[in-house]
Amino acid sequence: MMSELSDREVSQVREELRAFLALRPDLSPADLTPHTTLGDATIRSFLNRSIRGGRQVVTQIRAMMARARTGDILQPHRDAGIVIAPEQEQRTQGIARFQNWYETQTVRRVAEVLDYCAAHAAIGIITAEFGVGKSAAVRAWRLGKGRKIPTAVFEFDEFSSANTVEFICCLAKQLGLEVSIGSQNAGRVFRVVCEKLRSEPVLLVFDQCETLRTRVFSVIRQCWDRSHEAGVGIVLLAAKVLMTRMLGSRMADLGALTSRVGVWAALNGFTKSEMAAIIRQEGVTDIDDMAFELWYRATGGSMRRLMWSLELLQAKHSGKRVTEKTIRDVAGHLWGMQLSGGDSGVLRQGEDRPAAVNRTIEESAVARAVA
């Protein structure tokens, strides 16, 4: 009788499959099924943990990935988008600081996508969790290497992300065009915007794209269709959920945009060695190994969260040894995050805290966003 696979083995294969799909945004679970005897729904359920996955499921998925890595199956199309892989751990000696953040690998990857999209008039997508520093990296690029490249940065809000008329009128104003507000004028404004982009090409950077409705994505894609030959590139900044949404969507408009993406970058934030270098440069040198491990997990790769915690530690524990208890105390009382039960390594934001406290934390987060 065959023994059952351990939970660890099943989880390992599940994470390998997720990592494989993250590096191949041109693929979806439906593309994998012809190379196994499994159904599309089975692979999706396995990825989503809806099913545990027995020996047959795990064995077939593992064999399929092995064949794909050797190039026997699922080879990228010639016109498939370039994929920038997540950051790899590297030993870091020192990192340059700019205002309230540091130039990590994530910042350099963002610059690579911006450079590529500007040079090739391509569409690029950058995804990472909130607070990693996508917006700050764009600002740094515009002040540095990208300062000579005409760029327009558009940050979506609750209104422009859901309404195509609001979006195209706001974009027109940002490009210096006079517009007449009203749904009956939206088509005219759209055509004027496209003419403006063709005559004066710029790199369009759209921030907070995880909030966008499908119709707004469609307008962005149509703007690019009518202007990229003149040199207009587009970069979309978003949370990781956008990648899942675009690859799993069956909507025609979103699929049309996905097929035009030229470069993808799914980023994870700073690495452990980068964090170690940052806190050394900030003067935190006396810290327990367990405290550092807990602190790193608490930040989740977020530069914003790391810099806030550094400010708090420097204010409350300057010159003292940082222990695991120090991190727990700061997390529970000052960050708006706390440890759950006996968990020694995971911090959950806003858990079991009064609603008023959480609102204050959220308002503070907006006011003190990384410069």
The reported pLDDT for the residue numbered 221 is: 94
235 lies in the same domain as 305: no
For residues 251, 109, 171 and 364, what is the CA-based torsion angle, rounded to 10 degrees? 100
The answer to whether position 356 is within a domain reads: yes
The answer to whether position 274 is within a domain reads: no
- Sheet containing 233-238: give its strands across: 82-84, 261-266, 123-127, 233-238, 203-207, 151-155
Summarised one tens digit per residue, pLDDT across range 59-104 is: 999 998 888 876 677 765 444 455 555 555 554 555 677 666 787 8
The reported pLDDT for the residue numbered 84 is: 59
214 lies in the same domain as 187: yes
The reported pLDDT for the residue numbered 345 is: 41
Sign of CA dihedral 273, 277, 279, 284: positive
The answer to whether position 75 is within a domain reads: no
193 lies in the same domain as 326: no
Summarised one tens digit per residue, pLDDT across range 92-125 is: 555 677 666 787 888 888 999 999 999 999 999 9
113 lies in the same domain as 197: yes
Spatial CA neighbour of 146 closest among 137, 134, 156, 158: 137
The reported pLDDT for the residue numbered 332 is: 61
The answer to whether position 271 is within a domain reads: no
Name the domain boundary from 201, 233, 266.
266
247 lies in the same domain as 160: yes
**Residue 294, φ and ψ in degrees, nearest 5:** -65, -40
114 lies in the same domain as 59: no
Task: Answer for the pair 367, 100: CB distance below 8 angstroms, yes or no.
Answer: no
Which stretches of 46-112 are assigned E, i.e. beta strand? 82-84, 97-98, 101-102
Render 256-309 in DSSP notation, one character per residue. Answer: HHHTTEEEEEE-----HHHHHHHHHHTT---B-HHHHHHHHHHHTT-HHHHHHH
87 lies in the same domain as 65: no
236 lies in the same domain as 314: no
Domain with 226, as residue range(s), is 82-266
32 lies in the same domain as 114: no
Domain total for the chain?
Answer: 3
Using DSSP's 3-state secondary structure scheme, residue 361 falls into: helix
62 lies in the same domain as 93: no
> Which parts of the chain have pLDDT scores under 70?
1-3, 23, 25-26, 70-71, 75-95, 98-100, 181-183, 247-253, 329-371
Bridge partners (DSSP) of residue 261 are 123
CA distances from 270 to 33, 89, 141, 147 (A): 35, 9, 18, 25
Task: Answer for the pair 73, 64: CB distance below 8 angstroms, yes or no.
Answer: yes
